[in-house]
Amino acid sequence: MSERIGFIGLGIMGAGMAGNLLTDGFDVTVWNRTAARTEALVEAGAARADSPADLGGAVDVVVLCVSDTPDVVDVTEQLEPGLSEGMLVIDCSTISPDVTRELHARMAEWGVGWVDSPVSGGSEGAIAGTLAAIVGGVDHDVARARPVLGAFCHTITHVGGPGAGQACKLVNQILVVTTMLGVSEALVFAAGQGLDLDATIDAVSGGAAGSWMLEHRGPQVVDGYWEPGFSIDLQQKDLRLVLEAADRAEVPVMATGLVFQLYRSLQHEGRGGEGNHALVKAIEKLAGIEARRER
């Protein structure tokens, strides 16, 4: 018999994910802070709960997909009266690894499992069911979560115990922004040398200098295309998690800290909605030169 799923958080990501659970034949109950967001899913066959506690009482597995650490803490507190032994919570939000470990320990006292499973792949991936999940949790909880995650994920990578999924997602974010810092500095240097930027990217992409960011975002920089794959505002929320987790673990993150401050300067210019590759604009401002293709 298939598990009954509760889904909390029907934002740009959650709505697509919950829709895919329905498509896969799961019995789904939804709750959202803004109730209007539940309508389309109820039309598609979902039940609607009046509160997180109500939802908890009606299902076996609860999936969370909210914005940030305080939202997960808040909704979990509301959910608690409805939880009972043997249930499982799968948190698909990207939040603090430390708070995740605390929530896991708290739930374990009541016999409720907690799997952290931050996802990436954007709203298109949520709708298409092709997200990538990086998962932390104890083995039997993760095994139980897999078929649920499988409804909206293409790849599910179990990296370690409770909190490891969140921590690994933050490692991913460190790599994304620091690589973009290097790409930005390299492109601005190249512009300062009068190089043809397309030829330069082509010449260096294939070897030890190569990266996903250089190959995919480098040409967008040169082209002046700033639509977000992942916006600066969302990136900042994740970098704040990195800085906080690094501080708690007493690990310096010099390059990531620098990127956070540079993004801050771009947010002040109203560029928070631009893609994270617009980091180059902060470097360009410092250099007084743009790394754009001549037109």
Which residues lie near a copy of itself (CB under 8 A)?
97, 120, 132, 134, 157, 159-160, 163-164, 167-168, 170-179, 181-183, 185-190, 192-196, 199-200, 202-204, 207-214, 216, 229-230, 242, 245-246, 249-256, 258, 283, 286-289
Q: Which is nearer to a copy of itself, 123 or 211 (CB)?
A: 211
Is 31 in a helix, a strand, or coil?
strand
Residue 169 has a CB neighbour count (10 Å cut-off) of 26
Q: Which is nearer to a copy of itself, 11 or 163 (CB)?
A: 163
| Under 8 Å between Cβ of 130 and 154 | yes
DSSP classification of residue 137 = S
Q: Which is nearer to a copy of itself, 38 or 94 (CB)?
A: 94
Give the Cα separation of 21 and 172 in Å (integer): 26
Residues 169, 237, 281, 285: which is the catalytic one?
A: 169
Residues in Cβ contact with 186 at an 8 Å cutoff, skipping those fewer than 6 apart:
204, 209, 214
Give the Cα separation of 68 and 9 in Å (integer): 11
| Torsion angle of C-alpha atoms 91, 74, 52, 82, degrees rounded to 10 | 90
Q: Which is nearer to a copy of itself, 112 or 119 (CB)?
A: 119
- Residues forming beta bridges with residue 153, ordered by sequence position: 131
Would residue 169 show up in a list of annotated catalytic residues for this protein?
yes
Would you please indicate which residues are annotated as catalytic (active-site) residues?
A: 169
